[in-house]
Structure 1
Amino acid sequence: MTGLIQIDGAVVLDVIFESVRDAATAPDLVTVAVSLFNYERFLGKCLDTVSQQLHQHIDLIIVDDASDQDDSLRAAQEWLSANGHRFARALLVRHARNQGLAQARNTAFTLSRSDPVFVLDADNQIYPRALSRLLGMIQAGNSAAYSQLEFFGEEKRLGYADFWSQQKFRRGNYVDAMAMVSKASWKQVGGYTPMDGWEDYDFWCKLIDAGLEAVFVPEILCRYRVHSSSMLRTDTARADESVRMQMVSRHPWLDL
C-alpha cells in the first residue's frame, strides 16, 4: 500500500508509513486503531502503552485526521520508524482533509486485517493487560468488550463504566469509545456516524438496536486523560437540543 488511496469511494488517504513484519495474520491478531488530530504532545506516551502490551500479535493503524496545529504527523512517523518493528503491521495514513472522529475510526476499521479492533484516541493510554483481557471476551462471541476507566491528568478518579444494559443507556452514555469491537459487528451496524461528539453513544445504541451484546470487564485496563480539549471538557458533554432530538429520532427508546 503506497501513496494516495481511496476508500468508500470518497475518503482520500495518503499512506505515510507502512511496515509489515508478518504478512500472514495470526489467529489472535488484534488491530489497535489510533485516532490522531493535533495531539502531538500526548501521542508518544499513548503509543508506548500499545507497544508494551503483553499480547504479542498486534497491528497498529494510526489515522491522522489532517492535523493542522502541531507536528502530530511527523511525531507519529518518527515513533513508527523507531518502534514499528514491534508490530505485525504498522500503518500511518492521513486524511487529505479533516473528516471528523467518526470517519477516522471508520477508516481504521476499513483498513484493519483482523476482526478484533481496539479503539484508542491519541491522548489516552492502556495498561499492559488490556488487549489480552478484552480479546478473550471477543473470542467468546461478544460484539464488543470494554473495561473500567482510570481518569488521569487534570482529574484523577475512577471512571463510570458499568455492566451492559439498554436500560442504563436510556438516560445517557456510560461506556467510553476505548473498547475492543468486532469488525463484523461494526460493519453490521454501518460503522460510526458523525453525531457532533456523540458518535460513541450512537454506536453503542446501534449495537443494541441490532440485538448485539457487549461485555464489561470490571478491571481498570484503560486510562482516560482529562484535559482542556478532551471530550469531557468540550461541547461533547453538553450536546444541544438538536443533537438530543437526533439521537431520540434514531433510537426512540432513549429518554433524553
Structure 2
Amino acid sequence: MSRRGQVGGDVVDPAVCDEFGYGLGKPYGILVLRYRSSSALGFGEGREDLLHQFYWSPSGMLAARYGVSTVFVGPGEAFWAQRAMTHEVRAGARQTVYRVCLREIPAGLVGFRVGMAAFAPGAAALLESIARSDCPPEEGLAARPAIMGGLSPVSAGVGGAGAGGGYALAVARALTRDPADPTTLEEWAGRLHISPKTLQRDFQREYGTSYSRWRTELRLQASTVLLRSYSVGEVARRVGYASTSAFVAAFGRAFGVTPGGGRLRG
C-alpha cells in the first residue's frame, strides 16, 4: 500500500509523505512512512500508545529529545521509542526521514525503552528497498525480520574499538550523541588505551579527515537541525562552541551564510 500527499499533523512543516504498509493490523505488520521536505522537519512531542517506532535518516542527522535528554542520531543509527514513550524528533532541511511503526519489539531492543540504536547497513538498504509503490506484499513482509534484526542498542560508553569499525567509530558514535562533548583527542586515546597518533590515523582511515575537522563538521551539521527551534546563541552552546561569535564564524565558513540567514531552513 502506498499513499502520497501533503501531511501535517505532528510534522511541523508540511511535507510529502509516502506510506508503505505490509501486514497492517497483524502483529507481524510493518508501516513505513517516508517524509521529505524542502524545509526543516519536526515530529512534535507526543506519544504513541499502540505502536513502537523508530526514526532513521540516510541523508543527515536527527535531533531526538526524550525526558531531559537530547541525542543526535547520524545515518548509521536510528532513534527508537517503545509505545507510550513521549519523544520529539527533528531533522534539517532537504532531508529524507523514515518513520517505521511496529507492533512487535525487535529482538535486539527488548528491554530498551528509548534511545539510539545501531542500524545495520544491510537492514537500512532493505528498508529503502521496500519503500516503493510496486513492492509486492510478500517482499515487504519477508524483509521485515531482517530490518528489525538490524537494530541494537548503542552502548553509552567508549571502552573498546567498536564492532569491527575501529577506534574512530567508537569515538564518533559517542560524539554523535553529544557534539558539545569537550573531550580532546588525547583524552579519547587515553580512554581507549591507545596513543593519540593511533587514534588520529584511524580517523584519517575511517573518515578521510582529522579528528578536529570531523568534530567541527559534526557540530555544524547538528546546528542546522537545531536552528529552527533555538536562538543562535543557544545552538552555539548546545553544539559545543565557547562563544556565539566563534560559532557564527565557523558556520559562515562552512555554508556561506550566517546561522540566522534562514537559507538552510527552507
Do the two structures share a fold, i.e. TM-score over 0.5? no
Q: Bigger relative contact order, structure 1 or 2, given CA contacts below 8 A and separation 6+?
A: 1
Structure exhibiting the larger radius of gyration computed from Cα positions = 2
What TM-score do the two structures reach when normalised by structure 1?
Answer: 0.31
What TM-score do the two structures reach when normalised by structure 2?
Answer: 0.30
